[in-house]
Amino acid sequence: MKFEYTVTGKTIEDAYTKAVAEYSSIGDIVDSTVICEGKRGFLGIFGAQLAEIKVVIDDGRPERKPKQEKRPERKEAPRQAPQESKKEEKPQAEKPVQNPQPKQAKKADKPQPKKEKPQSEPERPPIKDEDIKVTVQEKSLAMGFIKDFIASIGFNCEVKGDLTPNEEGYVSRVVTVEGEGASVLIGHHGETLDAIQYLANLCLARKSDSDHKEYVKVIVDIENYRAKREQTLRALARKMGEKALRQGRSIHLDPMNPYERRIIHSEIQKMDGVSTHSVGYDETRKIVITVDKK
């Protein structure tokens, strides 16, 4: 009879030697199969794996075949034809058909009010520059705030602004920042510059008594970024307007601040066949350029 055993060792040779030592008393090894060659591992410790083989031992005795038990055959009883029932079924009297009563119409479900989709807020009409006035005191206050703020974050820049009043006693709204490393204060698409401008106007809104506090009064500029950005936005508006006309579909622009959206609106108004409106709220508010219906 033959028996199978699995033996492990550091190497295949060690496993085979171990198999001979352990099972030679039972019989001869007539066959061996390598299951795993084993791994030494890092430094002989980490990731090490033993070799594994399968050996077949024959003790010389003939194999016994299992006896198959004979099952007694079952004799099937002859099937009898089904007997007809002697009882005759009595015909059932037909039930009188009753006039079906008209079903009551189901009550109509009450119409549920449809959920209204949030409509986009209309773009606030821009205030013309001539309607926003800045006094000498307000501009001096804004320049002082910007200078102190820039110095507090470690930049040595010069803050400039014309404080010469006109005939009505108002001054220019533009405040410029110049100096080494000033371009860093612009940020991605002017985000840092807009933040500085927002803080300066927030300071004015709290300390000034003039009208239009919610609108930008002082415009902060660095290295003529505002003029360059305006040219880029106007070129973008014309390009997207032409694309909308060419493809006959609406074009969605990236979210912009109110100042940049007003530039896009004003440039699209110069083109025929397209119009603009704004969708979204706060930082996600963006412009959609649509093709006018003919």
How do residues 198-216 score in pLDDT, each as one tens digit? 999 988 888 776 655 556 7
Q: Beta-carbon neighbour count of residue 241 at 10 Å?
A: 23
Q: Beta-carbon neighbour count of residue 154 at 10 Å?
A: 7
How do residues 126-141 score in pLDDT, each as one tens digit? 556 667 888 898 899 9
Kindly report the pTM of this predicted structure: 0.51
Domain assignment of residue 88, yes or no: no
Residues 6 or more apart in contact with residue 229 via CB below 8 angstroms: 189, 190, 260
* Total domain count, the chain: 3
Range of the domain at 179: 129-223
The first and second tokens of residue 18, run together, are 């171990």
Domain assignment of residue 164, yes or no: yes
Domain assignment of residue 278, yes or no: yes
Domain assignment of residue 35, yes or no: yes
CATH code: domain of residue 243: 3.30.1370.50
Identify the pLDDT of residue 273: 95
CATH code: domain of residue 217: 3.30.300.20
Domain assignment of residue 110, yes or no: no
Domain assignment of residue 71, yes or no: no
Dist. CA 222–CA 230, nearest whole Å: 14
Closest CA to 173 of 129, 219, 132: 219
Domain assignment of residue 85, yes or no: no
For residues 283 and 209, membership in a common domain is answered with: no
Query: In the listed set 205, 223, 241, which residue is the last one of a domain according to the structure?
Result: 223
